[in-house]
Structure 1
Amino acid sequence: MLQRALAEISVYQDSNVLVGFDKSDDAGVYRLDDQTAVVQTVDFFTPIVDDPFTYGQIAAANSLSDVYAMGGSPRFALSIVCFPKDKLEEEVLHEILRGGAEKMKEARVAVIGGHSVQDQEIKFGYCVTGLIDPRKIYSNSAARPGDVLLLTKPLGMGIIATGIKLQKTPPEVAQNAIEWMRKLNAPASDGMEKFHIHSVTDVTGFGLIGHAYEMAQGSDATLTFSAAKVPVIEGTEELAKQGMLPGGIESNRRYVGDSIVWSGVSSLRQLIMLDPQTSGGLLISLPEEEAGPLAAELEAAGFLGELIGRVSDFEETHIRVE
């Protein structure tokens, strides 16, 4: 939607903008000098869990994720709050902010201010600013033919969150998803430093397929996935069969359009791969010979290192799923 809205708008061109909106990348990057650049992103959303403290934690982890995906180090943040003060007690807002503050403290990020508005619906998140070496930016548009694709968190968060809202998600399934959603991507980002990473994106609202499509399009490549190798949170398939499907699934299907070929993939697995994620994992494109060592680093840090696909020269379509 934003791409279409900006399509014919003229914006100021600055040679120090290293990453802007043109590539649909995870965050913007602005060069200060040859060794230092600023990386900035903003993200906020409505509650996906019932507990306000947990919601605050997840919102913070999600807001930080874009900076980690680019290879940056987040330094400070501004909070964004929409709150129906006439409907809910201030204690609810306090718990949301406390959850966010705890996660920001874990990330060693200073919250230096913010903005709040009265709204009919709760929304919460952060604008996060960090530092990055302009020579070491992980973009989402530099995947190379011959690379393999690793994923660091399982899918299913959108389906599970929909089930939570409708009181259909079993407690153990909800708790497993929550642990993944409030898990900072910082250790995964740090673990990539010693490897020759070509391209990275975090898997969030566009789902695995939507974000992979942006990577493939930006890299002028075809990404081929093995559906059976894509990790999924236990309990997701059962909830999907019950119809716990967020509207974002069909939005993501429309977003990718005819740039995908499904070959023998069940409709259930298609739904999961299109499922919008919150504070999802990183999709990493790197040389095949380095995949094993990186996977070991990721698993040692408590993440997954699942090899789920490959990159090849563009041929007919951007995404193939087998």
Structure 2
Amino acid sequence: MSEQVPVRLTQLSHGGGCGCKIAPAVLQQILANVPAGIVPPQLLVGTETSDDAAVYQINREQAIVATTDFFMPIVDDPYDFGRIAATNAISDIYAMGGTPLFALALVGMPVNVLPVTTIGRILEGGESVCRAAGIPIAGGHTIDSVEPIYGLVAIGLVNPNNLKRNSGARPGDKLILGKPIGVGTYSAALKKDQLSDTDYAAMIDATTRLNTPGTLLACLDGVHAMTDVTGFGLLGHLLEVCRGSGLRARVNVADVPLLPKAQAFAEQGFITGASGRNWASYGSAVNLGAHGDLTRALLTDPQTSGGLLVACAPDTVTEVLSSFLQQGFGQVAVIGDVQAGTPGIDLI
């Protein structure tokens, strides 16, 4: 009798991580004819600027931050999959400047394909991240699905005076990125069994590092806008900042931090389909300058549980960088600035 081959999580899904996101242009078409819903004055942030979470004010000093995020496996280890998905979901609370309060689990699993122990390990991974964030998983919902899906509803609090939208950037602000990019290239290489143990460790370290500096940065008057970089890539989420703020960004490509093998993997052709879909959706608003296809692939690379992107006044840069460095974000970098102009991005 032959030995049963373990099921690889990534083989059960047609996409992985935030690369599963519907492309920006397609999403815009879907939402175009959806009628506007109720918008009470207490709803400080809704869908108007494609921000990271909804924010609803409950009194002068408190507002609820609510978000949800879930996806299919980006890695085969079930515990790591749970950790990455939970970290990614909670990130939206930090990106608004909030403090997480609790979470609800969203679980869809092919129960006739995956052993219950594997499913349990996914949930354990998510629980471990919530424990690190200091919050409970207070409930959730489960379904039997064809592909494995895991994520969270995350709820937090923020002082309305400290709320950081993605649309608050001001002319002259510097752009700071908290984590290196390249997760999509790593996931593509993983599916082809091209990641060494060291490469895998670097990917897990980046994708399971909670964006905790967001809560502290919210208290800085010089921080004008924040978002997190996920499935639409660095350029896509920066473009949301530009359009929401009515400004134009310049990105110094040489200053953008990369995971150690990101460029090499991209050169070898380990590029996700989501990267091409991202560029097709918003590439017309990006001036590549002298840069070519490799740069385009990296800057549109879908990030899963990516870093915070911060727009801040020049005299606040040192304090922002210090906040990141003190919490272990060793590759934080100033990557450009924003100025008056037609919303878009120039690569220099």
TM-score category by the smaller chain? over 0.9
- Deviation of residue 275 (structure 1)? 0.2
The SS at the match of 1:179 is helix
| 2:92 aligned to which of 48, 66, 70 | 66
Aligned residue number for residue 50 of structure 2 = 24
CA–CA distance in 1 between the matches of 2:242 and 2:213? 25
Aligned residue number for residue 186 of structure 2 = 160
Q: Normalising to structure 2: TM-score of the pair?
A: 0.89
- The answer on whether the counterparts of 1:169 and 1:239 sit within 8 Å (CA) in structure 2 is no
Alignment identity in percent?
Answer: 36
CA–CA distance in 1 between the matches of 2:262 and 2:298? 8
- The answer on whether the counterparts of 1:152 and 1:188 sit within 8 Å (CA) in structure 2 is no
Describe the superposition over 1:232-255 as per-residue Cα deviations: whole angstroms up to 9, x where unpaired: 001111211221111110111022
- The answer on whether the counterparts of 1:198 and 1:285 sit within 8 Å (CA) in structure 2 is yes
Q: Which amino acid aligns with 1:6?
A: L
Tell me, yes or no, if structure 1 residue 106 matches structure 2 residue 126: no
Aligned residue number for residue 216 of structure 1 = 242
CA–CA distance in 2 between the matches of 1:78 and 1:192? 25
Aligned residue number for residue 238 of structure 1 = 264
| 1:187 aligned to which of 213, 220, 245 | 213
CA–CA distance in 2 between the matches of 1:195 and 1:153? 22
Tell me, yes or no, if structure 1 residue 262 matches structure 2 residue 293: no
Aligned residue number for residue 312 of structure 1 = 339
CA–CA distance in 1 between the matches of 2:194 and 2:309? 29
CA–CA distance in 2 between the matches of 1:200 and 1:56? 25
Deviates more, 1:137-146 or 1:301-310: 301-310
CA–CA distance in 2 between the matches of 1:264 and 1:292? 30
Tell me, yes or no, if structure 1 residue 5 matches structure 2 residue 5: no
The SS at the match of 1:128 is strand
Q: Normalising to structure 1: TM-score of the pair?
A: 0.96
- Deviation of residue 61 (structure 1)? 0.4
The SS at the match of 1:298 is helix
CA–CA distance in 1 between the matches of 2:102 and 2:28? 27
CA–CA distance in 2 between the matches of 1:10 and 1:276? 29
* Cα 1:187/1:144, change in 2 over 3 Å: closer
Runs of 4+ in 1 over 6 A off after TM superposition: none
The SS at the match of 1:24 is coil
* Gapped regions of structure 1 (runs ≥ 5): none
CA–CA distance in 2 between the matches of 1:133 and 1:227? 35
Deviates more, 1:13-22 or 1:291-300: 291-300
The SS at the match of 2:162 is coil
- The answer on whether the counterparts of 1:52 and 1:92 sit within 8 Å (CA) in structure 2 is yes
CA–CA distance in 2 between the matches of 1:136 and 1:101? 28
